[in-house]
Structure 1
């Protein structure tokens, strides 16, 4: 029994020993496995730390700095635009904008923030993403996403700054046009700079979201009006609040631009146009100062100081090319061009001030008939009465007598077919003076007598802008000087000397022309201007064919006739009536305002 127990004990001890050894081996394996795992993890962590701190250390240090340090662009007030008497046509008002700081997050991290911001600003997330993509992903310059935000939008963002990290609400000076649509085509408008313009102006310190002049004076004088951009380097906390200003470069305000426009006269011109498509230009015939320049249809430049809504854009598109300044676009000048034909004839020496010709109901030229407006003719007339009644058959005979060359030459001497020199040259049409060489080259046809006649009465291919027509009338009124028009007020002593060029017209030519244009108003087609409320007025009407559309209506005039102070040209596009009936009353309205204002101003000066 004892022997059996001893044997059993030895067997149990052996089994127990084997179990213990197996357990120890397993523990050792587990420990080794754990050590190996720990070594691998520590090695990976160490490698990552090496990569982050050594390989990419500079990048992440810069990233941390960008998240802590921001650059905020600052701009002083854009230069004001004033009328000739110092009244504000374009200025600025205090507002707020929302901008995104691209360096605040990686691109993917913006999604949640932009989704929240989209609901506050009523801008799609895709649009906000596009604004971020415009700038480099790590750009330190903020990207403007909305201007002119209201108080409710400001409050919602500022109350939830922790949800809008990287979003900035800042004060802004927003462009404002206090008179709305008034002089819109002259002033132009501002809008956010696009990628193409950014590339073209890469050395002029523009950033995405900056405003830039897009048209009119705003574009022509962009560099003077915008001033110099400044900036601040600031330190921000975790939610983007500024806690310290690190550096500051003050912005320089834009220059003030004073125009030659008169606010009251501009209002009168736009009122006279009403809803008609067309243009009115008023000049000082002695200096070239543009006193008024109106165009219809128009637009409100205030729409573009913020991003224009799709609804507002569609309403503008429904109009007939509202951004086109029709005062600078070219049209057939009709009978207003007879001024040039008369000058060409009298200066040629082939016709004199005493020339008298028979007029007829019509003339047949090359199978075409040139009719008089009254369908019966005006009997025997000279240049004065031919201008008064706008005789087509008189000027057709004169044109055949002198040929095309003198007429085309004098048109060019008056500046037709070329820029006038006005500051809005980027928007100005040259007009067109056709000639035999052009016709042969472009149309493969020779020049006919009918072409000469059509040109002489302002039809056919001849094209003139309302501003060019105003220069023509100014030259007759001021004694034979071609003036260069200008919109920005200059030193009068310099402008008179540099802006006038003698056309060397014979005194007899000027005498006949001045008498003829006075006769137009006193007894001819321009009697709508024969008003007791006005001093003596001289002018010329025109009715231009534009088949298959209705006719254009023209009237150009200056006053007082003996010593002109103002030239006004009115043009009504496809008005469907005569220049004397439609355009002359527009000219009258502008002149009445001019002389009424002048009388009022003179009275005030005397009382003082």
Structure 2
């Protein structure tokens, strides 16, 4: 076989080889142009189109934002005495961007030991913000001297860990007025989601209850802070600028600290509430709920375990002054009003009272089991005769009694600023009973309601508003906590009660103290007073006890209502609650006495 190829074959092979080499170089040149062009286009895009974005990223790497919480506004009583303020305290912060990842495990472990906070909780705080955040993340507030020393030593060799001074909330009177003032605490995840658009951020402090929550916008103030330039390791190089935090607005309340303290002492360790208001203006002079708490405990971080323990102690965060309970015989003020105003009974009506009455097949007894003989309205209030008011309730009928109950402000919120904590109470009617119990309203329901029992529920504050009606001449007042320069007319409206009805009510309430169930208030230590007791059945526990009163009887300045939840083990409202009212009134009127003249 010959190894020499024909010339035609060699020519074709030569032509194909040259073409292939040319195509390869062309392809390589094309790819090079594309790549260089792509890189150039990308560089141009980064330098031009995204220049601002990357400049900001570079700035964020070297500019550190150190926010400063504003100082929260102070809260004062009506005389300018301090109820809530701010104090300086040491807090520990972490800057995740600077903290070295290699050291984080040991840092977190030591922080947990020093602060007695679980490591998982510390890690959760960092995870919420993210490691690239440029602001300080608060880890703990209100550090002890021992913690400050230990953290100073730790921060000396741990980048991103700082101890700084900031203002935290302080309540100089501890648990006094706790349910009025409320407390502040770090913003929750839910609250942050709702309030982020208003400038709130993780670690922010916010009002969580009471006046602190109701007036959060006024008390909060405005964030400040400053910027510093840092090097690659996070060390400060120079300050770039600052914005002063704007402090919150100071508030003056209607509360009288002396009256508040007297009410706190009068209630003592009993579970319940005391409310004192000006019956003419609706100004709240004192508002106490027991059990209570010290709001200062929230100035530092509270563990879930401690929070659970606090809540388990008879619900100390429930404001019993704003929660509904059966008002018992204090409600006979409303029944008497309905009886006379309806025209079914005259102011001079006299009814025979009995040991019991059979109404609609049910036996309704009087509290003394014997009755009081014939009584008029004033006498029936004086002795709190149940069978008298059974007859009044039955006589006016359910719709009329319910209508007057609502006119007196029951079944709706009073309008006090603590609206998120206030209960409307309950004024049941046929519609309510049909919906909830699948039963029609009966005469027995009206009879029960006539003495403040059955489905009726009212808060101590609502009962104080009720007592204000006969005290001020027939006006329904709107209780409020913020001191106001508004005219009295803004805070009350007339119920258009006839003068003869008001006269009967005031005669009866004065007789209660003079010679009836409220003789504990018949004391020379206060001006002549008027009032009404109440004892509500509350099975399976002991009875609830009530006493409400006002003084002076001829020109009332103060209404006080005392309530004891299941505190009727040793007696009724006249025996246990009336002395509480007396102590509060003594504090109020003693403060009004002119100072004694020095003996020459």
Q: TM-score by structure 1 length? A: 0.87
Report the CA distance shift for 1:305/1:239 in structure 2 as closer, same or farther (over 3 A). farther
Q: Distance in 1 between matches of 2:531 and 2:313?
A: 32
1:336–1:556 contact (8 Å) kept in structure 2: yes
Q: Deviations over 1:567-604 (max 9, x none)?
A: 000000011231101111110110111111111xx338
Q: 2:549 — aligned with what?
A: 557
- Match for 2:272 among 278, 281, 288? 278
Q: 2:20 — aligned with what?
A: none
Unaligned runs of 5+ in 2: 1-38
Q: Distance in 2 between matches of 1:121 and 1:58?
A: 42
Verify: 1:425 aligned to 2:419, yes or no. yes
How far 1:140 sits from its partner (Å)?
1.3
Q: 1:539 — aligned with what?
A: 531
Q: How does 1:9-408 map to 2 (within 5 A)?
A: 65-105=59-99, 110-236=104-230, 240=234, 242-309=236-303, 312-313=306-307, 315-408=309-402
2:99–2:158 contact (8 Å) kept in structure 1: no
How far 1:365 sits from its partner (Å)?
2.0
2:69–2:204 contact (8 Å) kept in structure 1: no
Q: Distance in 1 between matches of 2:503 and 2:423?
A: 32
Classify the secondary structure of the residue corresponding to 1:154. helix
Moved more, 108-117 or 547-556: 108-117
Q: Distance in 2 between matches of 1:218 and 1:556?
A: 29
How far 1:279 sits from its partner (Å)?
0.2
How far 1:67 sits from its partner (Å)?
4.9
Moved more, 308-317 or 539-548: 308-317
How far 1:112 sits from its partner (Å)?
3.3
Q: Distance in 2 between matches of 1:311 and 1:191?
A: 16
Q: 2:583 — aligned with what?
A: 589
Moved more, 140-149 or 273-282: 140-149
Q: Distance in 2 between matches of 1:360 and 1:157?
A: 77
Report the CA distance shift for 1:605/1:438 in structure 2 as closer, same or farther (over 3 A). farther
Q: Distance in 1 between matches of 2:247 and 2:375?
A: 63
Moved more, 162-171 or 452-461: 162-171
Q: Distance in 2 between matches of 1:108 and 1:461?
A: 65
Q: Distance in 2 between matches of 1:110 and 1:283?
A: 56
Q: Distance in 1 between matches of 2:204 and 2:384?
A: 54
Q: 1:415 — aligned with what?
A: 409
1:113–1:165 contact (8 Å) kept in structure 2: no
How far 1:299 sits from its partner (Å)?
0.6
Q: How does 1:467-482 map to 2 (within 5 A)?
A: 467-482=461-476
Q: Distance in 2 between matches of 1:330 and 1:295?
A: 13
2:78–2:253 contact (8 Å) kept in structure 1: yes
Q: 2:12 — aligned with what?
A: none
Report the CA distance shift for 1:306/1:242 in structure 2 as closer, same or farther (over 3 A). same
2:155–2:162 contact (8 Å) kept in structure 1: no
Q: 1:42 — aligned with what?
A: none
Q: Deviations over 1:420-451 (max 9, x none)?
A: 01000000000111111221232111111100
How far 1:243 sits from its partner (Å)?
3.7
How far 1:77 sits from its partner (Å)?
1.5
Q: Deviations over 1:248-293 (max 9, x none)?
A: 1111100001111111111110111111000000000110000000
Q: Distance in 1 between matches of 2:250 and 2:110?
A: 41
Verify: 1:496 aligned to 2:488, yes or no. yes
* Number of residue pairs the alignment of both structures matches: 554
How far 1:495 sits from its partner (Å)?
4.1
Q: 2:565 — aligned with what?
A: 573
How far 1:470 sits from its partner (Å)?
0.4
- Root mean square deviation of aligned Cα: 2.4
Q: Distance in 1 between matches of 2:372 and 2:203?
A: 65
1:520–1:527 contact (8 Å) kept in structure 2: yes
Q: Distance in 1 between matches of 2:61 and 2:151?
A: 19
Q: Distance in 1 between matches of 2:293 and 2:179?
A: 8
Q: Deviations over 1:96-140 (max 9, x none)?
A: 111111322476763333233333333232221110011133121
How far 1:241 sits from its partner (Å)?
5.0
How far 1:459 sits from its partner (Å)?
0.3
Q: Distance in 1 between matches of 2:57 and 2:596?
A: 67
2:311–2:317 contact (8 Å) kept in structure 1: no
Q: 1:451 — aligned with what?
A: 445
Q: Deviations over 1:370-405 (max 9, x none)?
A: 211211110000000000000010010111111011
Q: Deviations over 1:8-33 (max 9, x none)?
A: xxxxxxxxxxxxxxxxxxxxxxxxxx
How far 1:161 sits from its partner (Å)?
3.4
Q: Distance in 2 between matches of 1:135 and 1:225?
A: 26
How far 1:79 sits from its partner (Å)?
0.2
How far 1:64 sits from its partner (Å)?
6.4
Report the CA distance shift for 1:193/1:425 in structure 2 as closer, same or farther (over 3 A). same
Q: Distance in 1 between matches of 2:488 and 2:158?
A: 59
Q: Distance in 1 between matches of 2:156 and 2:523?
A: 72
1:162–1:239 contact (8 Å) kept in structure 2: no
Larger Rg: 1 or 2? 1
Q: Distance in 2 between matches of 1:401 and 1:152?
A: 73
How far 1:308 sits from its partner (Å)?
2.0
2:186–2:206 contact (8 Å) kept in structure 1: yes
